[in-house]
């Protein structure tokens, strides 16, 4: 583990290789990391440097467009689930101050289920940047595949069938979010780039951000900086997986802090993939995760109802 890294590192090739010893070690290491820290760094995740660089170039080009142009891509009534969300619109649960960010969201493109295709909002095309949508959706599908492998391993760690999550995440309501934290031009009142929060979904896959700032809250109630290794992505447990496992796997509180004053003039870009299941997935705590020492902590709900509740809490609905 790198001194800067602070979270465990696993190699996805160990899971995909077919070697049962390497595969079993990966499953154990991934599960233990999610139990202890809620975060892990994953190498050999399927995104090449060229693909990553291309996406960041497209994302920077979009956020460099004139404000009036970007505002054309706000879709009223969608709670930010597609297209553009302006600066300061979203806030952390329990906070009123808007986070110091603007963002764009790509969603699922369903090709083989007409009923589901009719339910999901359509993705928004940026006419000024013809490569923006194809590049973004290519990364979406690559990270969706990586997330599927990771959830297979999590299922095995939980002693479930390896395909337990498969039907639940096929055509799931996942989001690829491109975030821009603009330069800070005046003393922030109380807002930070992203206040402390937990993610809503099953797992989040985070491509290396363009600058430091991500911190996680440890069991000792201390904030720990997390810096992705150059060849790795950071993956964390979301609240849906925490609910499903009755807190066996931890959804760790994290935040993005403002940089030192001498770096206020720099933008920060970050591109997380929030892996969501289909809305009807049952999030009732797994019986195997309920014990006398760990009694059931959550009421039964579905992924769709839980997502709706959380979007209201963070100000997008």
C-alpha to C-alpha distance for 47 and 26, rounded to whole angstroms: 19
Do the domain assignments include residue 135? yes
* Band of residue 210 on the pLDDT scale cut at 50, 70, 90: very low
pLDDT(3) > 60: no
Average pLDDT of the residues of the chain:
87
pLDDT one-digit tens code per residue, 169-179:
999 999 999 99
**DSSP conformation letters of 36-85:** HTSEEEEES-S--HHHHHHHHHHHHHHHTS-HHHHHTT--TTSTTSSEEE
Do the domain assignments include residue 175? yes
Do the domain assignments include residue 2? no
pLDDT of residue 203: 97
Task: Please give the share of the chain, as a percent, with pLDDT higher than 90.
Answer: 60
pLDDT of residue 150: 98
pLDDT of residue 142: 97
Do the domain assignments include residue 3? no
pLDDT(315) > 70: no
pLDDT of residue 259: 66
> What burial letters (b/e) apply to 133-142, b meaning 16+ CB within 10 Å?
bebbbebbeb
pLDDT of residue 18: 80
pLDDT one-digit tens code per residue, 42-56:
999 999 989 999 999
Torsion angle defined by CA atoms of residues 100, 104, 108 and 110, in that order, rounded to the nearest 10 degrees: 160
C-alpha to C-alpha distance for 91 and 93, rounded to whole angstroms: 7
Structural element, H or E, at residue 168? helix 166-169
pLDDT of residue 316: 63
pLDDT(256) > 90: no
CB contact at 8 A, 57 and 151: no
pLDDT of residue 152: 98
pLDDT of residue 263: 66
Do the domain assignments include residue 244? yes
Do the domain assignments include residue 1? no
Q: Count the neighbouring beta carbons within 10 Å of the beta carbon of residue 58.
A: 20
pLDDT of residue 87: 82
Evaluate if pTM is beyond 0.85: yes
pLDDT of residue 280: 94
- Residue 186 φ/ψ region, left for φ over 0, alpha for ψ in the -120 to 50 degree band, beta for the rest: beta
* Band of residue 143 on the pLDDT scale cut at 50, 70, 90: very high
Do the domain assignments include residue 156? yes
pLDDT of residue 182: 81
pLDDT of residue 4: 40
Do the domain assignments include residue 79? yes
Which CATH number does the domain housing residue 170 bear?
2.60.120.330
- In total, how many domains does the chain have? 1
pLDDT one-digit tens code per residue, 107-132:
999 888 888 888 899 999 999 999 99
Q: Which of 213-217, 225-229, 265-269, 296-300 has the highest mean pLDDT?
A: 296-300
pLDDT(5) > 90: no
> By residue range, what is the domain housing residue 308?
9-313
C-alpha to C-alpha distance for 227 and 160, rounded to whole angstroms: 32
């Amino acid at each position: 583990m790198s001194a800067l890294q602070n979270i465990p590192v696993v190699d996805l090739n160990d899971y995909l290789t077919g070697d049962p010893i390497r595969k079993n070690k990966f499953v154990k290491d991934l599960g233990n990391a999610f139990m202890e820290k809620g975060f892990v760094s994953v190498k050999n995740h399927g995104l090449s440097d060229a693909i990553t660089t291309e996406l960041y170039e497209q994302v920077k080009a979009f956020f460099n467009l004139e404000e009036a142009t970007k505002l054309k891509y706000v879709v009223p009534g969608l709670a930010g689930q597609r297209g553009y969300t302006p600066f300061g619109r979203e806030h952390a649960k329990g906070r009123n101050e808007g986070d110091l960010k603007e963002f764009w969201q790509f969603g699922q493109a369903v090709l083989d289920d007409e009923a589901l295709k009719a339910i999901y909002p359509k993705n928004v095309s940026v006419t000024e940047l013809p490569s923006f949508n194809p590049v973004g959706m290519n990364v979406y599908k690559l990270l969706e595949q990586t997330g599927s492998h990771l959830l297979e391993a999590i299922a095995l760690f939980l002693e479930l069938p390896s395909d337990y999550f498969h039907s639940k995440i096929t055509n799931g309501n996942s989001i690829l979010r491109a975030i821009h934290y603009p330069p800070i031009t005046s003393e922030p009142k109380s807002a930070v780039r992203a206040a402390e929060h937990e993610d809503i979904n099953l797992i989040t896959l985070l491509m290396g951000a363009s600058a430091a700032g991500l911190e996680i809250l440890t069991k000792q109630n201390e904030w720990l900086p997390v810096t992705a290794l150059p060849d790795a992505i950071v993956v964390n447990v979301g609240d849906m997986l925490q609910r499903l496992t009755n807190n066996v796997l931890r959804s760790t509180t994290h935040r993005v802090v403002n940089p030192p004053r001498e770096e206020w003039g720099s933008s920060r870009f970050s591109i997380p993939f929030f892996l969501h299941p289909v809305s009807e997935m049952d999030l009732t705590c797994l019986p195997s995760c309920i014990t006398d020492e760990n009694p059931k902590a959550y009421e039964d709900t579905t992924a769709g109802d839980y997502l709706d509740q959380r979007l209201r809490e963070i100000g997008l609905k």
